[in-house]
Amino acid sequence: MHYAIKTVHQLRPILQGFRKSRGMTQAVMAEHLGVTQQTYAELEANPAAASVERLLRVLRVLGVELVLSQAEAGASAQPAPARPAAKAKAPAGKTAPARSGPGRRPREDW
């Protein structure tokens, strides 16, 4: 079956559907990916924040193939949304302090 994905918001239900159709829990997915269940749950809840590399790893575990195709002639292509304004850079020689605090966990490298 083919699914046309036009926005990142469509990824969440599609990822959940493929995972559930294979009878896999988030914990099982996390085990296959080598991450915690919480980390996988965060990716599944907000796949738009994940890198393409991570999404491709998830798709491989699910046995899903990513196929790109050109839209039919006459299909309306929507322009990409405007990018947010860039943040001002710190003056030369000065760097912003590293964010840390209670409740912040180190990022998992997967």
As a whole number of angstroms, the distance between CA 31 and CA 25 comes to 10
pLDDT score of 73: 77
Burial class (CB in 10 A: 0-12, 13-18, 19+), 30: buried
Is 29 in contact with 19 (CB distance < 8 Å)?
Answer: yes
pLDDT score of 74: 67
pLDDT score of 100: 52
- Whole-model pTM? 0.64
What is the average per-residue pLDDT within 69-80?
Answer: 68
Structure tokens at 1: 């079956």
pLDDT score of 83: 53
CATH of 8-62, one of 1.10.150.20, 3.60.21.10, 1.10.260.40, 1.10.8.80: 1.10.260.40
Question: Does the pLDDT of residue 39 top 60, yes or no?
Answer: yes
Q: Any alpha helices (H) in 1-110, and if so which ranges?
A: 11-21, 26-33, 37-45, 52-62
Torsion of CA 66, 55, 28, 39, to 10 degrees: -170
pLDDT-derived band of residue 48, with 50, 70 and 90 as boundaries?
A: very high
pLDDT score of 1: 82
What is the average per-residue pLDDT within 63-76?
Answer: 83
What is the average per-residue pLDDT within 19-26?
Answer: 98
